[in-house]
Structure 1
């Protein structure tokens, strides 16, 4: 009888003890990194009069994270414990691509697929690699497959693979971030230029 009376009291005591222990846990500080695109050169190429929706890249669970991924050896995936991206890698890449199109000043309208933009075309991306690799010297690696689609029918109009590597001056998180920023500043303008050329070719063919 007494055991039954005491048992609920123990149940109430356990959550209180758990809360107390959680309050005493020391939080590990971390640094948030947010890559920026370099200021573009003055636009010299012709503008296009269509609009583009940039979809959030598809990625594996290992890459779809705010953690900065490092590969010390082939097939081995780790993360920097004291570092985070400002957003998940796919969302981060999507936002930089949108910014790259805006910076080019060559397109009438561009935005994410969730922006409500009345787009003519969509840019779909499969993100294959987004990590710092140590083999042969530390270097940031970004690899993806891009597809330009008709926004209404979802038909693939063009596809292109992109692969960029940038050396890192060290193996710490700060050096990794600088290498990633350099790689993205190479890749995004290439992707923007290809998308505009492929989209314009499809647009002209559709008019004809």
Structure 2
């Protein structure tokens, strides 16, 4: 996993080569800021001039935040007190999806709505799970569940819908352990998800 680190204290001081981003608010404690990285796909097949827009993923209110969710049961929402993601979960996953899809070099344009040409296809994403569960028998588990839908823009025809899910046990509930666990999940989910999307959008 590739993480970067910055210290912010009444300004910004970049410290390259470290594992996290440290955020020091003038009136608050130090918070560890984590940023997930995309995967790099090997270019396969010819490059088309088609365009793909990746819309902002939809997510429940509990995940529409930069806080790192950790919960002992499905009815309880809690967050790590001294750590956060670099953006809200939907924004971070949108960025990771765009950069992963673009790395395959299969499509002429992959990007945000309004930032490029009229799209040929649109990727819709629904985030059903992106958090840590405290297991009844003890221990912790990071879980991700994403539903991806590819639409043809001109007539809104659904070209495919698929759910991608994965989970990984964690040795503890430290922020660094959790962030690395989610990066491992992304490294496992994104290659298959991106290949599936490109097969319908390219």
Deviation for aligned residue 1:44: 3.5
Aligned to 1:150: 152
Distance 1:50 1:169, change over 3 A: same
Aligned pair in 2 of structure 1 residues 99, 154: CA closer, same or farther (>3 Å)? same
Determine if contact 2:67/2:84 at 8 Å carries over to the other structure. yes
Displacement, 1:26? Answer: 4.9
1:62 is paired with a residue of what secondary structure? helix
CA contact (8 A) 2:54 2:122 kept: yes
CA distance in 2, matches of 1:112, 1:187: 21
Structure 1 CA distance, aligned partners of 2:191 and 2:133? 23
Larger Rg: 1
Change (3 A) 1:197 1:129: same
Q: Structure 1 CA distance, aligned partners of 2:42 and 2:58? A: 32
Q: Is the 8 A contact 1:111 1:117 kept in 2?
A: no
Label 1:41 to 1:54 Cα distance change in 2 as closer, same or farther (>3 A): closer
Length, aligned pairs only = 175
CA–CA separation in structure 2 for the residues paired with 1:95 and 1:53: 12
In structure 2, the residue matched to 1:28 is 29
| DSSP-derived class of the 2:36 partner | coil
Displacement of 1:105 in angstroms is 1.9
Q: How far did 1:111 drift?
A: 0.3
CA 166–112 in structure 1, closer or farther in 2 if over 3 Å, else same = farther
Matched ranges for 1:130-145 at <5 A = 130-135=130-135, 137-145=139-147
Give the aligned partner of residue 17 of structure 2. Answer: none
Name the counterpart of 1:180.
Answer: 182
Indicate conservation of the 8 Å contact 2:38/2:97, yes or no.
Answer: no
Q: Any conservation in 2 of the 1:168–1:178 contact (CA below 8 Å)?
A: no
Gaps of 5+ in 1: 1-24, 201-208
The CA deviation at 1:41 is 5.4
TM-score (norm 2): 0.79
Equivalence map 1:43-62=2 (5 Å)? 43-62=43-62
Deviation at 1:69, TM superposition (A): 0.5
SS at match of 2:82: strand
